[in-house]
Amino acid sequence: MKIAFLQMDCHFGKVDENLTTAGALLPGISADLVVLPELFHCGYYFSSALEAAEFAESVPDGRTTQFLIEWAAKKQCHIVAGVAERYKDSLFNSAVLVGPSGFISVYRKIHLFNEEKTWFSPGEIPFFVVDIGSARLGMMICFDWFFPESVRSLALLGADIICHPANLVLPFCQKAMITRCLENRVFAVTANRIGMDERPHGRLTFTGCSQIISPFGEILAAAGKDEESICSIDVNVEQARSKKLTRHNDLFADRRPQYYFGGDRGRD
């Protein structure tokens, strides 16, 4: 199975331009699964919920999801990409999964970062996994990585590959994802954007360095910090299906939840 990321610049508010950029890069990818950045169609740094609402689309009827569905049909592949979503009276920072036959599912970001809390509602659907036949996919978005429970949840639910659209501004995620993959024995595709959102209320620079990590913590592919790039790599998803670490250790069977503290007993 071939999995890929598409790393691109996104120009704030320029949906035509951003879809054109993605559409120019997609033909160069040969893969069964392609992951695009968070909010790739509209950019990231909104000034208000009102402004986010201008760009939020319904899923799957909106323009961006339809664009992705067309490409998934054309390339006969699956695509995960970040989309600002309008659902009923709420806005979500979402990721859609589409395939050769159309729309499959939408994940709504559970852990919102900083001012996102003023633009979006937090996701209210638990982490879930989708079996696309060739692999079981889990989705999370950007800052979700900071919480070990995100990848842990997806892995315990059976994910082989974590699809991780991102707009990273902190310097920690790329290295941390090595730990996430090791501790859960999963693949992860982090598709980050590059460039900056320069807005009247401030400026954010995104860190690029998209990457694909193996269940053994190896960096299988990595992009630079400021170039648009696509990268695909052959993986054997079976590597994510055994959690056996040593003759006597299985990373999941060895968990001992009765001795842990947390869940809804957290102190906050």
Q: How far is CA 102 from the centre of its chain?
A: 19
Beta bridge partners of 7: 229
Backbone angles phi, psi at 84, to 5 degrees: -70, 120
190 and 211 in contact (C-beta within 8 Å)?
yes
Report the candidate in 241, 242, 233 with the shortest Cα–Cα distance to residue 213: 233
Beta bridge partners of 103: 98
Among 10, 57, 85, 109, the active-site one is 109
CA distance linking residue 128 with residue 105, whole number of Å: 10
Q: Which listed range, 24-32, 83-91, 121-129, 189-197, lies at the site for its own copies (CB under 8 A)? A: 121-129
Backbone angles phi, psi at 239, to 5 degrees: -60, -25
Could you confirm whether 57 is annotated as catalytic?
no
Q: How far is the CB of 243 from its own copies (least distance, A)?
A: 8
117 in contact with its own copies (CB under 8 A):
yes
147 in contact with its own copies (CB under 8 A):
yes
| Site size for its own copies (CB under 8 A) | 60
The CA angle 115-15-194, to the nearest 5 degrees, is 60
Binding-site string for its own copies from residue 234 to residue 263, where x marks contact by CB under 8 A and - marks none: -----------xxxxxxxxxxxxxxxxxxx
Could you confirm whether 109 is annotated as catalytic?
yes
60 and 96 in contact (C-beta within 8 Å)?
yes
Comparing CB distances to its own copies, the nearer of 78 and 185 is 185
Of residues 5, 44, 46, 113, which one binds its own copies by CB under 8 A?
113
Comparing CB distances to its own copies, the nearer of 61 and 265 is 265
Q: Which listed range, 39-47, 81-89, 92-100, 117-125, lies at the site for its own copies (CB under 8 A)? A: 117-125
**Helix axis angle, 173-184 relative to 148-156, nearest 10°?**
30
Q: How far is the CB of 176 from its own copies (least distance, A)?
A: 4
Listed as own residue / partner, the contacts of 108-113 with beta carbons closer than 8 Å and 24 or more positions apart are: 109/140, 109/141, 109/142, 109/143, 109/144, 110/140, 110/144, 110/150, 111/143, 111/144, 111/146, 111/147, 111/150, 112/143, 113/142, 113/143
Comparing CB distances to its own copies, the nearer of 171 and 200 is 171
Could you confirm whether 142 is annotated as catalytic?
yes
Of residues 91, 110, 186, 191, which one binds its own copies by CB under 8 A?
110
79 in contact with its own copies (CB under 8 A):
no
81 and 95 in contact (C-beta within 8 Å)?
yes
Binding-site string for its own copies from residue 176 to residue 215, where x marks contact by CB under 8 A and - marks none: x-xxx-xx--------------------------------
Comparing CB distances to its own copies, the nearer of 74 and 203 is 203
Q: Which amino acids are annotated catalytic? A: 38, 109, 142
Positions that interact with its own copies (CB under 8 A): 110-118, 122-127, 143, 146-150, 152-154, 156-158, 172, 175-176, 178-180, 182-183, 217, 245-268
